[in-house]
Amino acid sequence: MDLGQWAAQNGTLVVAGAALLGLILIISLVATLRTKSARRLAQERHTSLFDNNTAAVATVDTKGAIERVNAAFVELSGYDEAQLQGIAFASLIAPDDRQRVLESLRDDSEHRPHSVESRLVHKDGLEVELEITSVPIVIGDRTFGTYQMARDLTQQRELERELESRALHDHLTGLANRSLFADRIRHALQRVRRSGHQVALLYMDLDRFKLVNDNAGHAAGDALLCEVAARLRNFVREGDTVARLGGDEFAILLEDVADAEEAETAAKRVVDLINEPFKVSGKAAYVGASVGVAVSTPDIESPEQLVRRADKAMYEAKRRGGYRYVPYTRDIDTGEIRLGDHLESELRRGLAAGELAVRYQPVVDLAGTQIVGVEALVRWNHPVHGLLPPSSFIPVAENAGLIIQLDRWVLEHSCRDIRRLLRQGVIQSRPFTLSVNLSSKHFEDEGLVDAVFGILTAEQFAAEYLQLEIKEDVVARGSEKIARLKSLGVTIAIDDFGMGDEPLGYLRDAMVDVLKVDRTFVMSLGGDRISTAVIRTILSLAEMHDLQVVIEGIEDPVQIEALRKMGGRLVQGFYFVAPVELDELEHLLTRGLAPAFIYQPGRRQGGGQEAPPETVGRG
């Protein structure tokens, strides 16, 4: 059969085969085009992500040389793209950090991203603190290089340094605070033991400061404290330390003094310095100084001992009329013991005679200006001295072992009061919280949890309404008791949050429910960048751990507005209302926050409330 005959007989089969082959070719072509299109789209997406990324990104080959950079990396380094191509990535890194970055570049054995902190040297010579994340570029089993993604840590580090500084320095004057001062004394005493030299501590309390504060206002009082700080700072030698220990109390650590006489000469000069008039609100203001002097001796083993001696000498200067210095002697110790016994016996008598009283300061929700809780604050109705703030008797209660009895009395009394308001329907807000302070001494007492349970049972007070406030330093050593307290159904708040130096792991461990921000961080809120940043950080931290935040010490509308913008909601402070008696609290809960209960500087609160003290609370 010739080819023509075969074609005639099998023509249909040939056409069908050709058509099938054509279809296969078309499908293959379409698939190829689709693959190329997908690759091109993926490449375009990758290029867009690389070029438009706000993070600084560079691709680095296996030899450590830069291949490409995006616009953010150009801006971060100061070099243009052409200058960066082909140079060693590590050459941009500060010499001290270069080895660590080189090791990071080589560490791609597990094909996983890893990060390292280092400093990049900007074109102008300045160093930029970075977190560099190295991401291997892996195709199949081969590594073709890495993406180096750099995050600028400059602002974060500045904030961390500021926060560290705030933790060690007084917010108002910039002087060392109590924590830093104790550390300086500790190191000074160590040097004393090695060198045989002496150090001296001058503990100073201002005379007549309360008069200036009351007459001219808190702002003028703060300005005066800053002026005092400036005088003391200019007085001391390099190497000496000036601290503000709280309120109108200052201290000076004099290092390498020859003897007690040199320390007393310095104390006399401080008294004379503070006796000079100050300018407050354009007017002359006269205050004085009571100064206690203590010089290191071989039996001093801790900063607390030296501070205690100087503190006692200062109180002796006060007792003698102020405006003077007094050196510490053993005789002062004897007199202090008699005075302490007197105050202790007075407080025991006051507890037995029912002279203690509870005041309630509302917690306000800014969202609706509604009272959503109260803090129970103890006062002493002394038969001679009148209503005493907690600062005048709580230290005595702590030292005398009366604090547990006192705190339990406050807990029992306040549970009874708030239960009555709940049953009467006066408290409409739900949830509503009664917050009560607990001294750290309770966490040395095995009966704490049973005592709280017993009071809740006896007073028929639902645990869900009770919040116990503790100090930050209690959390670590009291974790077992805190867990048992929470099992009762009560909530736990950290009082004066931000003032301690404890690790914050307890936030992650769900040991607390509420953070109460100390008024120290609130005083400059709205006008001070650092104060605003601190509170914003705390609010973010709380949101991350699902915690509530209560901001204490609110005194003016600027602070309110700043908090609203940051999302803060729960507040306490004299801007709304001072601590009130139970009947006044009932009136507030029934009628709401009326203008008569809004704090105005220089005016006594309506309804017989207390004028704002310098500090609020029991501890």
Q: What is the mean pLDDT of residues 580-587?
A: 91
Q: What is the mean pLDDT of residues 500-516?
A: 71
Asked whether residue 188 carries a pLDDT value surpassing 70, the answer given is yes
How is 44-90 classified by DSSP, letter by letter? HHHHHHHHH-SSEEEEE-TTSBEEEE-HHHHHHHS--HHHHTTSBGG
Asked whether residue 343 carries a pLDDT value surpassing 50, the answer given is yes
Average pLDDT, the chain: 80
Measured CA to CA, the distance from residue 243 to residue 474 in angstroms comes to 25
Residue 499 is predicted with a pLDDT of 61
Residue 304 is predicted with a pLDDT of 87
Question: How many Cβ atoms from other residues are within 10 Å of residue 446's Cβ?
Answer: 9
- End-to-end, the C-alpha distance of the chain in Å comes to 116
Asked whether residue 598 carries a pLDDT value surpassing 70, the answer given is no
pLDDT-derived band at 461 (thresholds 50, 70, 90) equals very high
Share of the chain above pLDDT 70, in %: 78
Asked whether residue 462 carries a pLDDT value surpassing 90, the answer given is yes
Residue 5 is predicted with a pLDDT of 58
Residues facing residue 204 across a β-bridge: 250, 291
Q: How is the chain split among helix, strand and coil, in percent rounded to 5?
A: 50, 25, 25
Measured CA to CA, the distance from residue 267 to residue 256 in angstroms comes to 15
Query: 472 and 440 in contact (C-beta within 8 Å)?
Result: no
Query: 348 and 409 in contact (C-beta within 8 Å)?
Result: no
Asked whether residue 375 carries a pLDDT value surpassing 90, the answer given is yes
Both tokens of residue 112?
Answer: 């996983």
Q: Which of 226-235, 265-274, 466-475 has the lowest mean pLDDT?
A: 466-475
Q: In this predicted model, what pLDDT tens digit does every residue of 40-98 receive, in sequence order?
A: 554 555 555 566 677 788 888 888 899 888 888 888 888 988 899 898 888 888 888 88
Residue 108 is predicted with a pLDDT of 53
* Greatest mean pLDDT range, 158-167, 341-350, 409-418: 409-418
Query: 254 and 200 in contact (C-beta within 8 Å)?
Result: yes
Residue 473 is predicted with a pLDDT of 76
Measured CA to CA, the distance from residue 299 to residue 318 in angstroms comes to 26
The residue ranking higher by pLDDT, 398 or 525, is 398
